[in-house]
Amino acid sequence: ASSGRSLTNNAPILDRVGSQLKSETYLPTLQALPGRFEFTYMPDNSQLALLIPVDLCVGSSRSKDTVSTVLVLGSDTAKSFTPKDVAWARVIAERMGKVL
């Protein structure tokens, strides 16, 4: 049976973070926002989402292109990420961009 979850739905919040913004977007109460319809691939009990842009360098050492993607983190407790958690996630996203 299908859960109805899809990664290909309309994703304006995700698109904005991946292309225009170069800082994170924190949705502390996911169920109260339009984002609850966008992040259908997250577990049903997800209460918040933290979106961090990840710049991936692809290509040879001479001509590297940057491809933007987004690290999406969630929690089952609303408003549970502290500034320290967000800073930690930024470091992880930066490292992901270097090694992926």
pTM for the whole thing? 0.73
The CATH number of 12-99, from 3.10.20.90, 3.30.450.40, 3.30.1330.10, 3.90.870.10, is: 3.30.450.40
Please give the Cα distance from 58 to 42 (Å, whole number): 28
Rounded to whole angstroms, how far apart are CA atoms 60 and 91? 24
Domain map of the chain by residue range? 12-99
Closest by CA position to 12, among listed 30, 41, 34, 31 = 34
pLDDT in tens, the chain (100 residues): 334 444 545 777 777 776 755 778 888 887 776 666 788 888 888 888 999 988 877 665 555 566 678 899 999 998 899 999 999 999 999 899 888 7
